[in-house]
Chain A
Amino acid sequence: MEGGTGALGALLLADARLPVGGHAHSATLEAALEAGMPAERIPDYIRARLATVARTEAAAAVAALRAARGEPVDFGPVQAALAARTPSAPLREASAALGRGLARLARRVAAGHPAVRALDTAGRAVPGLRVLRPVALGALGAAFGMTAEQTARASLYDDVQTVTAAALKLRPGDPLAAVDRLLAAAPRIEEVVREAAATATPHDIPACSAPLIDHWAGAHAHTTRRLFVA
């Protein structure tokens, strides 16, 4: 790949057909439903994520995009800040699994880009933790020539659509209703996009926690009857 892809890159990163392994994830929705959350509360669950974990990840993706402009590029501080803001081991593992898919894609399509060559700096930052999804997303955003807003929106869109798509498999219903759920969240998504785009350094990444999401993810990691890995 030569030069930026601009708007096309943003579409590509939001496309569920991108072969990065996202189809195996439910953004902890499966565990939430397993724990008894009624399906009617899925819009509230999306709202909870946008106020907490999804917000943190979008800001981290922007911080990674900014780090990708450094010389030399060092993703270590972003990876470490995000790891400190993700106390749940199963959620770090889920993020690292998605990060691996994105990193593989990045190395295929933009191997020579300085941000992609520097992905190893993230893997070395925290012992035993491979590159997390937002860091790989920020590196790809840099390679694709995306803006901070595009990168944050790709991260948030992916989070919400992971929930809506998993909901269709876990509680089959009208696929058009899933689109409604996404669009209902649009004003809040744009609010978080604006906030995340202003993330200048890893220190600025918010650390809003969601205790029940952490708990559900922990319970899900030990169940044998599951459709999604996380």
Chain B
Amino acid sequence: MTRTDTAAPRLPARETGAPAPGPGPAGAPGTGAGPAAGSGGGGLNPAEPAVIAVRRVGARTVPVALEAGTFLRPRVMRRPGTALRVALAAVRAALCAGDDVRLRIDVGPGAELELVDPNGTVAYNARGGRAAWGASVRLAEGARMSWTEPSFVVSDGADVLREIDADLAEGAELLWREALVLGRTGERGGALLATTRVRLAGRELLAEDLDLRAPGLRGLPGVLGGARVVGQVGLFGRAPGGSADPDRLDLAGPGALWRWTGEHPYRSEAPLTRVWRAWGGHA
């Protein structure tokens, strides 16, 4: 039932952010083709993905496979209700230089998965190396999934690729929340490229490369300005109710993104939670 269509999004060439015209310095770490997508490339160490596969039996959703990967271990949380809740526990510290954290999720027809990551992710100073965190999500017809990633912190000196690839069949619905944070307290943060690809019934619903690698580019007016936090809630497969708002992006297909940018991560909590709940997220 798994699809193997894991073609990586084409990565943009790195913007150097240098004030001088012309091509960027060829010797800078990571300059050139951008971080390699997929395991094993670009100085990343081979790693096993964590696998979560669930299906519906009667009215309930049950696990088919819960496999620990090199970095993450899925654990079922006992809860009332028909949805299956799974939490991600850390197997070992990540993300350090060379780490390639992979998560593979498969939700069968009509099944309902609530995925929570209580810890979030911190990308540490890679000292010239790089790291990657990628999730591949497949929702079958009528499947529903909600997914919270509390914070993805990119420390000074980190160079990290965050990739999400979601493939939704007809009638599937994905509600997702994340907060990308550039730097720990007092830092400006390292390099982050966050790529998001969402397909619905085989058609591209959202394609986005949030390229926050070069401080000279991400600080420009129109990109992030002075902000160091991008918090977002995405609903894919259904257009949420409610009225237009400058922070709300209504996609061309059924779905929307609600995006908060600012300086302090804690300030994003309340507005993101409000939207998460309004769009059907659990408490």
Chain A residues in the interface with B (C-beta under 8 A): 28, 32, 37, 41, 44-45, 47-49, 51-52, 80-81, 83-89, 92, 126, 128-129, 187-188, 191, 195, 203-204, 206-216, 218-219, 221-222
The reply to whether B217 and A212 contact each other, CB–CB distance below 8 Å, is: no
List the A side residues contacting B64 at CB < 8 Å: none
List the B side residues contacting A32 at CB < 8 Å: 221-222
Residue of A nearest to B249 (CB): A87
List the A side residues contacting B13 at CB < 8 Å: 195
Q: Which of B138-197 contact A (CB under 8 A)?
A: 195
Docked CA distance A37–B211 (Å): 21
Known: A80-B204, A86-B252, A87-B208. A210 touches B222 (CB 8 A): yes
The reply to whether A126 and B222 contact each other, CB–CB distance below 8 Å, is: no
- State which of A44, A126, A129 has its C-beta within 8 Å of the C-beta of B220: A44
Q: Which of B60-95 contact A (CB under 8 A)?
A: none
- State which of B220, B222, B225, B244 has its C-beta within 8 Å of the C-beta of A222: B244
Q: Does B47 contact A (CB under 8 A)?
A: no
Binding stretch for chain A, among B50-58, B98-106, B253-261 = B253-261
List the A side residues contacting B252 at CB < 8 Å: 83-84, 86, 89, 92, 126, 128-129
The reply to whether B249 and A218 contact each other, CB–CB distance below 8 Å, is: yes
Docked CA distance A60–B117 (Å): 37
Q: Does B48 contact A (CB under 8 A)?
A: no
List the A side residues contacting B259 at CB < 8 Å: 211, 214-215
List the A side residues contacting B222 at CB < 8 Å: 28, 32, 45, 48-49, 52, 210, 212-213, 216
Total A-B pairs, Cβ < 8 A = 114
The 10 lowest CB-CB distance pairs between A and B, nearest first, are A187-B21, A218-B246, A48-B222, A83-B252, A48-B220, A219-B246, A84-B204, A87-B249, A207-B207, A213-B222
Known: A32-B222, A206-B209. A80 touches B203 (CB 8 A): yes
List the B side residues contacting A203 at CB < 8 Å: 10
> How many B residues, CB 8 Å from partner?
40
Docked CA distance A88–B10 (Å): 22
- State which of B21, B204, B247 has its C-beta within 8 Å of the C-beta of A215: B247
List the A side residues contacting B244 at CB < 8 Å: 89, 218, 221-222
- State which of A44, A84, A222 has its C-beta within 8 Å of the C-beta of B207: A84
Docked CA distance A212–B217 (Å): 13
List the B side residues contacting A28 at CB < 8 Å: 222
Q: Which of B204-223 contact A (CB under 8 A)?
A: 204-211, 217, 220-223
Q: Mark B225-268, 1 if CB is under 8 A from A, else 0.
A: 10100100000000000001111111111000101010000000
List the B side residues contacting A188 at CB < 8 Å: 21
Smallest CB–CB gap between A99 and chain B, Å? 14
